[in-house]
């Protein structure tokens, strides 16, 4: 019984007995019946006091035990959480914890097609990035892929998964370490100040360091994990920079795990981002670690040039018109002419400090990575050796970039038929797994006949 109710009942009982004794004294006077009634009443009052004392003692002991159990349980949870962190095992968070950490999911720091990222601070003061995966079917698949891919990997250049919240229904949440300098795209591309959350112009030395960091992270996924992991969406938006501008490969929502003894795997639909997709996505249905290497090569070119691989530029002959330009093709032409410094982001040239040997190394490595034939591309371990100077980087064979040039030709902005062609092939592969036969036949014939 509740302690407060016991006290109330005891007080009412004692008052009632005292009043009855007074009434008995008036009516029965000092008769034998009166003394019998008084004795019984006093005995009951003493019994009530004894019950209250025992009840209070019991309640105090119960509260003490509950407090001890709660304290021990909290210590066990803290110790368990600590051990999980030490072991690198993701922690399961409650939705309420994440809601409080992100102040009701107010601080939006990034948004994608099926996910949003919010900044949060946990109870222990740790800054985190909380990724909310929206959608039912796609969200469940991305959630499982991302947890499976990154939960068991630990590398200084891979973003660390701290925990997750697997609600019965969408959305689901992934909790990552927070990278204070945001994603790489804000530091290499020209963006208006109003569009930036983090960014600026990354110096040449830091760009070269980022290139090596990303290569090491991908090399770990490809070669050093128990199961080989293919990222399948390598791009500047998925490369984060911490407070020391160390690069962290992130966003494993499209990742695939394959066995060490497997060299390729079949995927039913295109995965990744246009502009970074390897030609084999459109020519074949099997992928390998060489698919990530192609995407990495595209990122290298963007790091050097400070511009997107496919973008709209003003037409030199008619300023009122703009046309699509494919930057890797321009780089290829400049390399053949020996004009390496014309490839570099002009903002870096204005500041100075650009090492031409490093430019040559990055560009050569990038062109090796974007070879149309997968067998010609180096492994990520070889790329790391190239960038760190352990292996000399020779001029790669000329790649005609037939397929991408066909799909991203120099069309005007008003007549973007080539880009519509890319959209057509994309939708055919993504929605129905039926390839565009004319594009497939054309590209296969040209590539095989080189």
Catalytic entry in 2, 103, 224, 233:
233
Determine contact, residues 291/307, Cβ cutoff 8 Å: no
Return all residues near 96 (Cβ < 8 A) that are at least 6 apart: none
Q: How far apart are CA 279 and CA 450, in angstroms?
A: 15
Alpha-carbon dihedral angle through residues 288, 437, 431, 423, given to the nearest 10 degrees:
90
C-alpha angle 280/283/284, rounded to 5°?
Answer: 75
Q: Which helix (H) or strand (E) holds 108?
A: strand 108-111
Return all residues near 406 (Cβ < 8 A) that are at least 6 apart: 418, 421, 439, 442, 443
Determine contact, residues 295/380, Cβ cutoff 8 Å: no
Does 131 show up as a binding residue in the annotation? Answer: yes
Q: How far apart are CA 132 and CA 350, in angstroms?
A: 41
Residue 233 annotated among the catalytic residues of the structure: yes
Farthest CA pair distance, the chain: 130
Alpha-carbon dihedral angle through residues 265, 270, 271, 273, given to the nearest 10 degrees:
140
The position carrying tokens 């399961």 is: 92
410: tokens are 């120099």
Q: Which residues of 420-441 are buried (b: 16+ CB within 10 A; e: fewer)?
A: ebbeebbebbeeeeebbeebbe
Return all residues near 153 (Cβ < 8 A) that are at least 6 apart: 220, 221, 225, 229
Alpha-helical (H) ranges within 318-355 are: 327-337, 346-351
Q: Which residues of 239-251 are buried (b: 16+ CB within 10 A; e: fewer)?
A: bbbeeebbbbbbb
- Nearest Cα neighbor of 275 from 189, 333, 209 is 189
Q: How far apart are CA 286 and CA 7, in angstroms?
A: 78
Determine contact, residues 249/184, Cβ cutoff 8 Å: no
Catalytic residue list: 233
Binding-site residues for ATP sit at: 131
The annotated binding site is made up of: 131
């Amino acid at each position: 019984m509740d302690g407060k109710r016991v006290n109330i009942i005891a007080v009412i009982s004692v008052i009632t007995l005292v009043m009855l004794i007074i009434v008995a004294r008036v009516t029965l006077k000092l008769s034998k019946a009166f003394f019998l009634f008084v004795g019984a009443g006093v005995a009951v009052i003493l019994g009530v006091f004894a019950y209250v004392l025992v009840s209070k003692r019991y309640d105090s002991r119960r509260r003490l035990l509950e407090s001890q159990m709660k304290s021990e349980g909290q210590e066990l949870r803290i110790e368990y959480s600590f051990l999980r962190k030490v072991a690198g095992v993701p922690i399961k968070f409650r939705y309420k914890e994440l809601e409080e950490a992100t102040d009701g999911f107010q601080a939006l720091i990034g948004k994608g097609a099926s996910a949003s990222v919010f900044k949060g601070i946990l109870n222990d003061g740790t800054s985190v990035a909380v990724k909310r995966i929206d959608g039912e079917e796609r969200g469940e698949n991305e959630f499982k892929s991302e947890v499976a891919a990154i939960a068991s990997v630990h590398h200084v250049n891979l973003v660390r998964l701290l925990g997750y919240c697997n609600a019965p229904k969408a959305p689901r949440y992934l909790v990552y370490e927070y990278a204070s300098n945001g994603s790489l795209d804000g530091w290499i591309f020209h963006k208006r100040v109003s569009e930036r959350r983090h960014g600026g112009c990354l110096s040449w030395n830091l760009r070269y360091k980022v290139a090596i960091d990303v290569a090491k992270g991908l090399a770990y996924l490809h070669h050093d994990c128990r199961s080989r992991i293919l990222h399948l969406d390598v791009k500047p938006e998925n490369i984060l920079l911490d407070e020391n501008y160390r690069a962290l490969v992130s966003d494993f929502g499209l990742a695939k795990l394959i066995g060490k003894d497997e060299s390729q795997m079949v995927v039913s639909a295109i995965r990744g981002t246009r502009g970074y997709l390897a030609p084999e996505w459109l020519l074949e249905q099997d992928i390998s670690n060489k698919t990530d290497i192609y995407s990495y090569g595209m990122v290298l070119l963007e790091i050097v040039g400070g511009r997107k691989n496919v973008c709209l530029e003003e037409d030199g002959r008619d300023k009122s018109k703009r046309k699509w330009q494919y930057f890797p093709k321009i780089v290829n032409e400049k390399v053949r002419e020996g004009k390496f410094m014309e490839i570099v982001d002009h903002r870096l040239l204005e500041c100075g400090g650009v090492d031409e040997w490093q430019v040559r190394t990055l560009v050569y490595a990038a062109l090796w990575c974007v070879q149309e034939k997968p067998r010609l591309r180096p492994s990520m371990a070889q790329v790391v050796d190239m960038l760190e100077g352990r292996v000399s980087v020779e001029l790669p064979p000329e790649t005609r970039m037939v397929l991408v040039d066909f799909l991203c030709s120099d069309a005007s902005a008003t007549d973007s038929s080539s880009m519509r062609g890319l959209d057509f092939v994309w939708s055919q592969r993504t929605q129905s797994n039926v390839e565009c036969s004319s594009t497939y036949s054309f590209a296969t014939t040209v590539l095989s006949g080189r």
